[in-house]
Structure 1
């Protein structure tokens, strides 16, 4: 979205911007508060762009990104846009066809990009266009063809490997993030967004949800004894409201720190998501019901959980197998 300023004229809010030819444009708004003026101004600029046939994928992408600013997904949108926008940015949504998606998939594969990454990249494009349809910016979002989603990775850590990872010397915020992911089965984003008011030492619970409600894979889970000890120590040294902090502020990413820790532990193939998978596998191996594991993972349907983790349970298909005892 182009740059603009919000001001006041005769007691009313106005939005001011400059056209490409340098002409200054001003539009009087109906909003009565600065917050409402900000929202209305964006609608005005989007309508202006649409009226000139300029509502391109790039415009929509940037507008959607603005709605998630301040959240980790915003950084992801910025990064993914470097790959997606050179291909689709100049197009209007109605100009996108299946051949464009197939050409993008082919090009990314030739560049050595894995299908899982391509699936995610085109998924963000689909999200943006569906958002534009829901908000009335476009009449209909085009179908975005993606490669088949790869099967989930089977990699998880054994107890010995967990001990190796926890024993590694690394930055305190990285070590605490690792322990949180292992003990709560949380995604790394949920851990980085966790604030101290959602850590309840009296009840021994951690609320991984935000004020925005229950987001993907978020739950309220009990603290383990080991995690409680780590959190008590971290709380004493806290300089901000974020549990995972660095230099008195929130941490946007632990990719580099985590990778270094994993390599030092002799686990170069391990990613943060492997820790969530590890937690779920160990719960299943301990005979915890799929319903409880689903609640821990924040799954809305335990059938989703069972489809991935039931096979790790010691009782999985045991009754069925007993019917095949012929000796």
Structure 2
């Protein structure tokens, strides 16, 4: 029997689901107390991210409008896939230039959703998509939302872009966070834009800031 390896990230996600289910069972009084189970260790933060040139190339090779719209929003806002696919036109305000990824009535969770401004390039993409719209959803296929993600289309776009590695849609958020660090964007602003905990940004992305610890290195001598 062949054993399939599971990545640490997948293992942690499965653990979190299991822990939530057991806690629910405890609250519903099916268990006397919530079981104490040790979580798997964190994996090292990923280092690989798209360069800005790779991201531009990836956007340029998108052949279908809904894939290009998804790619543009992901690259310029760093929003999660689910936030983008559920985005409707009533939350895209061309007058203020803001995009509100928070759905009305949706319960707030640890995965926060941001309100972010459009970049000039993203505004052009969205204005074009708005003119061609056939429904309420910003990313749509024949007027209907795209509920199951764009894994196949995303993979094909990566192939056409000639990338020598296989990024996932989440790498777009990771890449934007890395660019913000390299561009020395203040942590609080980056956290608000990416709807990410500032502590996480400091822990994972500050190493991409070329000036981080530079003053110590420049002044350190024997």
- TM above 0.5, yes or no, is yes
- Counterpart of 2:35 in structure 1 is 142
2:99 corresponds to 1:206: yes
| Per-residue deviation, 1:146 | 4.0
Deviations 1:181-230 (A, max 9, x none): 11001111111111111111111111111222544142111100111011
Q: How does 1:22-101 map to 2 (within 5 A)?
A: none
Distance 2:103 2:26 in 1: 26
Distance 2:154 2:194 in 1: 21
2:57 corresponds to 1:164: yes
Q: How does 1:297-308 map to 2 (within 5 A)?
A: 297-300=194-197, 302-308=198-204
Deviations 1:83-134 (A, max 9, x none): xxxxxxxxxxxxxxxxxxxxxxxx9x92233332222223212222223334
Distance 1:325 1:246 in 2: 61
Deviations 1:242-276 (A, max 9, x none): 11111211111111111111122122411011100
Equivalent of 2:175, from 278, 293, 308? 278
- The 1:307/1:275 distance shift into structure 2, 3 A limit, reads same
- The 1:263/1:145 distance shift into structure 2, 3 A limit, reads farther
2:75 corresponds to 1:182: yes
| Per-residue deviation, 1:238 | 1.4
- Counterpart of 1:296 in structure 2 is 193
Alignment gaps of 5+ in structure 2: none
| Per-residue deviation, 1:279 | 0.6
Equivalent of 1:238, from 123, 130, 133? 133
- Counterpart of 2:160 in structure 1 is 264
Alignment gaps of 5+ in structure 1: 1-106
Distance 1:139 1:194 in 2: 42
Whether the 8 Å CA contact 1:182–1:275 is kept in 2: the answer is yes
Q: How does 1:244-259 map to 2 (within 5 A)?
A: 244-252=139-147, 253-259=149-155
Deviations 1:295-322 (A, max 9, x none): 111124x222111111212321122223
Q: CA RMSD in A?
A: 2.1
- Counterpart of 1:133 in structure 2 is 26
Name the TM-score, length of structure 2 as normaliser: 0.89
Name the TM-score, length of structure 1 as normaliser: 0.62
Count of residue pairs brought into register by the alignment: 218
Distance 2:195 2:28 in 1: 28
- Counterpart of 2:86 in structure 1 is 193
Q: Provide the secondary structure at the position in 2 that maps to 1:111.
A: coil
Equivalent of 1:323, from 214, 219, 222? 219
Distance 1:207 1:325 in 2: 50
